Chain A
Amino acid sequence: MSTARKNSALTTLAVLVRDTLTSQVVTLWKVFRHLWVPTDTVQYPEQQPAMASRWRGRIVLTRDPDGEERCVACNLCAVACPVDCIALQKTEDESGRWKPEFFRINFSRCIMCGFCEEACPTNAIQLTPDFEMAEYKRQDMVWEKEDLLISGTGKYHDTNFYRVAGKAVAGKDKGEARNEAQPVDVRSLLP
């Protein structure tokens, strides 16, 4: 064997031994030390996970600060929904406010994508940090308006559609909304 080849064989051996010591043994030691590292496991039913407030979970219908339903049955959420799990029908109450006659979410279809929340112009539909929605019967996963409607404002406290919009409802005439000018009398504009 020539000197060069002998050297290269020795070098290979030296590299192997060095790698074993610096890589494999160090790896073993570092993994072994994880015995004393606290585990990341959250023992779920007893120990509740910390949920982010922006978590996209169970969908709710919220009310405005006056306690009225925010939903104006515009159908944008149903349009935005990629899995077509939202169904609703518009109706109008005696005060002139639009609201859903029924509002139905099929949670066995819902993929919690939050597109409905983004589409909603009145902040009515919102996703909440709740994921415990398991049921034994599939039909129980279809939620009606009474199930979805909550008494509070949800994540957005100020949105109050009929106090901003120009539409006249009982108790708020044209021109009485926030930042709304009085309606112009076209006839008085005569020269």
Chain B
Amino acid sequence: MGWIEWQVGSGLNIASILLVVIVVAAMLIWVERRLLGFWQDRLGPNRVGPFGLLQVVADMIKIFTKEDWVPPFADRFSFVLAPTIIMIVILLSFSVVPFAPGVGVVDSNVGVLFVLAMASLGAYSVMLGGLSSDNKYALLGSLRAAAQMVSYEVFMGISLLGVVALAGTFNLREIVEVQENGWFVVPQFVGFLIFLIAGVAESHRLPFDIPEAEQEICAGYHTEYSGMKFGMFFVGEYLGLVLISSLITVLFFGGWHGPFGIGLLPPLVWFALKASAFIAFFILLRAAIPRPRYDQLMSYGWLFLLPLSLINLLVTGVVILAAN
């Protein structure tokens, strides 16, 4: 990046991050379908353009030219508002993610808290979408979504506290800088696992896509959505996937640092590699693991993950105190 002076928060920085994040999220539609295809011994979409890469363009043309329809029985204002919330909230979360030295939008001292707050706001999108649709499946979906997201947020936050305690800061950029000589995944392996599971539940991806479980409740909260409003929910889901993968990379896998201090590749490439690996892992989860029942999801969260994350925080605190 020698020819441009990269500085956190510059206009070029903001524009390129926004562009890259949205393009990556859109391309994930294709990536996911191809990967799922390979894992199911199929090929996936490979017709439009080289390797089917232009499938995204075809999908976009389709979704943009569809009728933008609002059901007459829906509450128009919140119906239109809901899909924009998820996009805005997740894009805002990206503002505190440190991609590489000098690449990022904001260098916030409360980065971790900001991400968690935005994740909580994301629940409103799903809830409003389901409520305003005035449809029983949508309502059931948004009920489930609300319960699931509120429950899993609890220990999503607690699982991060171990990292925060070790790093001594809420600033995501400083958390990455602290990990230069050792990734937090080693001392915080339990925290990593909990965050991984909570992350899947937060972005309600399979196997935790209970709010939109097709076999049970049509499409859940976005049953009544079509056209670009559905597209925003859709891209929002992939944005959430990118966000969770980036956060895992930043918090537990040393962000832009290579493993064992290896600096062979540019920092941005290291970040992209790690984040892509996690995105692929999430898609693998979708391909392999069946969806649990709703009550199983809740009891697993409250009775197993919550105590585990508390114990993890406790042990981390004791070790830090003992070390000092």
User: What is A's interface to B at a CB cutoff of 8 Å?
Assistant: 13, 16, 24, 27-28, 30-32, 34-35, 37-41, 43
- Chain B contacts of A32 at CB under 8 A? 39, 284, 288
**Are the C-beta atoms of B43 and A41 separated by less than 8 Å?**
yes
| Shortest distance from the beta carbon of A5 to any chain B beta carbon, whole Å | 14
Chain B residue at minimal CB-CB distance from A23: B289
Q: Is chain B's binding surface mostly helix, strand, loop or mixed?
A: helix
| Shortest distance from the beta carbon of A165 to any chain B beta carbon, whole Å | 53
| Shortest distance from the beta carbon of A191 to any chain B beta carbon, whole Å | 82
A35 CB contact (under 8 Å) in B38, B42, B285, B288: B38
**Are the C-beta atoms of B41 and A40 separated by less than 8 Å?**
yes
**Are the C-beta atoms of A28 and B42 separated by less than 8 Å?**
no
Residue of A31, A32, A35 contacting most chain B CB atoms (<10 Å) = A31
Interface string of B24-63 (1 = CB under 8 A from A): 0000000000000111111100000000000000000000
Per CB-CB distance, the 6 closest pairs between chain A and chain B, nearest first, are A31-B288, A41-B43, A27-B288, A28-B288, A34-B39, A40-B41
Assess whether B287 is interfacial by the CB under 8 Å rule: yes
**Are the C-beta atoms of B287 and A31 separated by less than 8 Å?**
yes
| Shortest distance from the beta carbon of A95 to any chain B beta carbon, whole Å | 55
| Shortest distance from the beta carbon of B206 to any chain A beta carbon, whole Å | 13
Assess whether B260 is interfacial by the CB under 8 Å rule: no
Q: How far is the CA of A173 from the CA of B42 in the complex (A)?
A: 62
- Chain B contacts of A34 at CB under 8 A? 38-41
Assess whether B304 is interfacial by the CB under 8 Å rule: yes
What band does the interface of chain B fall in when counting residues whose beta carbon is under 8 Å from A?
A: 10 to 19
Q: How far is the CA of A43 from the CA of B43 in the complex (A)?
A: 9
- Name 30 interchain pairs, CB-CB below 8 A, sorted by A: A13-B304, A16-B304, A24-B289, A27-B288, A27-B289, A28-B284, A28-B285, A28-B288, A28-B289, A31-B39, A31-B284, A31-B287, A31-B288, A32-B39, A32-B288, A34-B39, A34-B40, A34-B41, A35-B38, A35-B39, A37-B41, A38-B41, A39-B37, A39-B42, A39-B43, A40-B41, A40-B42, A41-B41, A41-B42, A43-B43
- Chain B contacts of A41 at CB under 8 A? 41-43
Q: How far is the CA of A80 from the CA of B285 in the complex (A)?
A: 52
| Shortest distance from the beta carbon of A60 to any chain B beta carbon, whole Å | 33
